[in-house]
Structure 1
Amino acid sequence: MTNSKTNTLVPPSTFALGGDLTVRRIGFGAMRLADGPERPPDPAAAPIWRPPADRAAAVAVLRKAVELGANLVDTADAYALGANEELVAEALHPYGDSVSIATKVGVVRPAPDEWIPLGHPAYLRQQAELALRRLRVERLDLLYLHRLDPAYPVAEQVGALRRLREEGKVRHIGLSEVTVDQLREAAETASIAAVQNLYNLAARGHDDVVDHAAAHGIAFVPFFPIAMGAHAGPDGVVAEVAREIGATPAQTALAWLLRRSDTVVPIPGTSSEAHLRENLTALEVALSDEQFARLSALGEATPGAD
């Protein structure tokens, strides 16, 4: 009989998003492929306002991500005012059946430091049409409502995405930065295949959403999944566990997310091919029950937003 210190588990490497779209459980977030060398060290503070200064390098990273097995690539119309979607298409189109692209609508960018929800149904439909053109597809694999806009009923906002799905322009619908109650309300209008919220070892304010998603077969897609906080220092628990299993702290943080729930699909982003390889090989990292519990004890329920 094994004990909790030796009972290790490598979680499933794939998840059937929406029941029929199989993706590897570490995807690639393209948001950070923007703004060039002026990008601030803290990605959460980045304006994501312009295309990358080194476009060829960004294209190479996207292609390497797919080459290494990431088959869910995440972008948004708000990233660099649509230029991020164009970058994804330049790098990866034609996508074939092996690559799925997720994008988002519902946020306007009047200035680099402004991210303003806009949920007018006509605007959401317009932005989806533009996303189709920029990504060069006839159907979006996964379309998120980037933020719920309190100025419009949830049923109207989600209903706009449902209409697009009925027209064959969207395969699956997602929501971003929502609560369990908002998720339940949205599900009254359309089936929700994915939720993308801020979540990592240090930002655990959406634990209840992770559990709700798991119970209902919904993909939980954490953004900024490796923002581990001060406890990720060289003398912290994350580094300690990383040394025990022969992994890096980033891989250990991702392994914890994968073990947290079988429906979790992190989308770490990077402009570095070395970090990209490091992130994607976290699928091979196994944590023991004791190590998982030790890491889980780090988190405090703190809300967050991008």
Structure 2
Amino acid sequence: MQATEAPATQAGTITIGGENGFTVNRMAYGAMRITGDGIWGPPRDHDEAIRVLKRTLDLGINFIDTADSYGPHISEELIAEALHPYPEGLVIATKGGLLRTGPNQWPVDASRKHLEEALDGSLKRLKLDQIELYQLHRFDPKVPSEEFLGFLQEAQKAGKIKHIGLSEVGIEQIEEAKTYFDVVSVQNMYNFGQQKWNDVLKYCEQHNIAFIPWYPLNSGNISATEAIKKVAARHNATDYQIALAWLLAASPVMLPIAGTSSVKHLEENVLAATIKLTDEDLQDMPLPK
């Protein structure tokens, strides 16, 4: 397959986990949206969800991000249905630590009991003996941190998890987790219009930790939205493509996970990897300092 047919390859690569880690293309796929409304229940169009997952491979995507809470369980089940046995080089990363009590409801539960059930369930649903990258959804203020960090450490030593990442964390939490295991990724909300985690991004750059931004297009920031639209018009591109192109330009450790339930939108989104922002673009959309 030519590079033009696999646009995700044009985003470059990132190695996660050091010498014993894995290398993937920097344009990835987030599998939250292939579930029902409110990230609850099965998708409206099961066959389209399967087509989306299969199409990711054609486009050069070899990193898929999911979680046991997406559905719950539905996203992981669809991934296995569409892609198992997995091709060599494809990494399925999943997460644990949230409960689902209804559509758009996400209570935190990082207790040992819940994490053990979540991890074992993910292994079974994804038909894996080991999860390449397992990420903790949240530090749980109701649970002593040594309980959930200690569990992840034990699960890694038992071979259920190869690498461990964190989500929605600050530097202090990353440092605490590093006393239990190597932190290879951080998944925080981040986009051009919402850069509150710039200090964490710089920390990740300094320590060779992958930064996985979720919610790449923040429509709540009016000035940011206007800047994105201006640059998008210049490139005859969609707002989402420019938001993703900016993330790729923002840092070499950035690993965007564009999510969608549509093959058409998936193909559009991944073309962001082919967009090179100019100096003029970056005056309108400055990179993080």
Q: Could you state the TM-score of these two structures normalised by the residue count of structure 1?
A: 0.85
Q: CA RMSD in A?
A: 1.9
Distance 1:218 1:279 in 2: 24
Distance 1:192 1:226 in 2: 26
Shift of 1:118: 1.0
Which residue of structure 1 lines up, in the alignment, with residue 229 of structure 2?
239
Distance 2:132 2:271 in 1: 25
The yes-or-no answer on 1:109 pairing with 2:100 is yes
Identical residues among aligned pairs (%): 40
Shift of 1:246: 4.2
Distance 1:11 1:152 in 2: 42
The yes-or-no answer on 1:264 pairing with 2:262 is no
Distance 1:66 1:148 in 2: 33
Shift of 1:231: 3.9
Higher mean C-alpha displacement, 179-188 vs 281-290: 281-290
Q: 2:204 aligns with which of 204, 208, 213?
A: 213
Deviations 1:154-201 (A, max 9, x none): 232122112111111111101111111111111111111111111111
The yes-or-no answer on 1:18 pairing with 2:17 is yes
Distance 1:226 1:18 in 2: 27
Which residue of structure 1 lines up, in the alignment, with residue 277 of structure 2?
287
Q: Which has the higher contact order (CA 8 A, sep 6+)?
A: 1
Which residue of structure 2 lines up, in the alignment, with residue 28 of structure 1?
29
3-state secondary structure, aligned to 1:274 = helix
Higher mean C-alpha displacement, 93-102 vs 224-233: 224-233
Q: Please tell me whether the aligned partners of residues 226 and 268 of structure 1 are also in contact (alpha carbons under 8 angstroms).
A: no
Distance 2:114 2:22 in 1: 27
Shift of 1:11: 8.7
- The alpha-carbon distance between structure 1 residues 292 and 126, as it changes in their structure 2 partners (threshold 3 A), is same
3-state secondary structure, aligned to 2:41 = coil
Deviations 1:129-168 (A, max 9, x none): 1100000010101111111111222232122112111111
Which residue of structure 2 lines up, in the alignment, with residue 125 of structure 1?
116
Higher mean C-alpha displacement, 144-153 vs 282-291: 282-291
Deviations 1:251-296 (A, max 9, x none): 2111111111100001010112121112112112111244224213
Which residue of structure 1 lines up, in the alignment, with residue 47 of structure 2?
56
Q: 1:251 aligns with which of 226, 241, 245?
A: 241
Q: Which amino acid in 2 is paired with 1:187?
A: K
Q: Please tell me whether the aligned partners of residues 48 and 263 of structure 2 are also in contact (alpha carbons under 8 angstroms).
A: no
Higher mean C-alpha displacement, 129-138 vs 157-166: 157-166
Q: Please tell me whether the aligned partners of residues 39 and 104 of structure 2 are also in contact (alpha carbons under 8 angstroms).
A: no
Distance 1:66 1:242 in 2: 26
Shift of 1:83: 1.6
Shift of 1:228: 4.2
3-state secondary structure, aligned to 1:84 = helix
Shift of 1:32: 0.6
Which residue of structure 2 lines up, in the alignment, with residue 68 of structure 1?
59
Q: How many residues align?
A: 277
Distance 2:154 2:87 in 1: 25
Segments of 5+ residues of structure 1 without an aligned counterpart are 1-9, 40-46, 300-306
- The alpha-carbon distance between structure 1 residues 97 and 15, as it changes in their structure 2 partners (threshold 3 A), is same
Question: Residues 39-188 of structure 1: matches in 2 within 5 Å?
Answer: 39=37, 47-188=38-179
Q: Which amino acid in 2 is paired with 1:100?
A: V
Q: Which amino acid in 1 is paired with 2:253?
A: T
Q: Could you state the TM-score of these two structures normalised by the residue count of structure 2?
A: 0.90
Q: Which amino acid in 2 is paired with 1:15?
A: I
Q: Please tell me whether the aligned partners of residues 27 and 266 of structure 1 are also in contact (alpha carbons under 8 angstroms).
A: yes
Q: Please tell me whether the aligned partners of residues 11 and 27 of structure 2 are also in contact (alpha carbons under 8 angstroms).
A: no
Q: Which amino acid in 1 is paired with 2:13?
A: T
Q: Which amino acid in 2 is paired with 1:270?
A: T
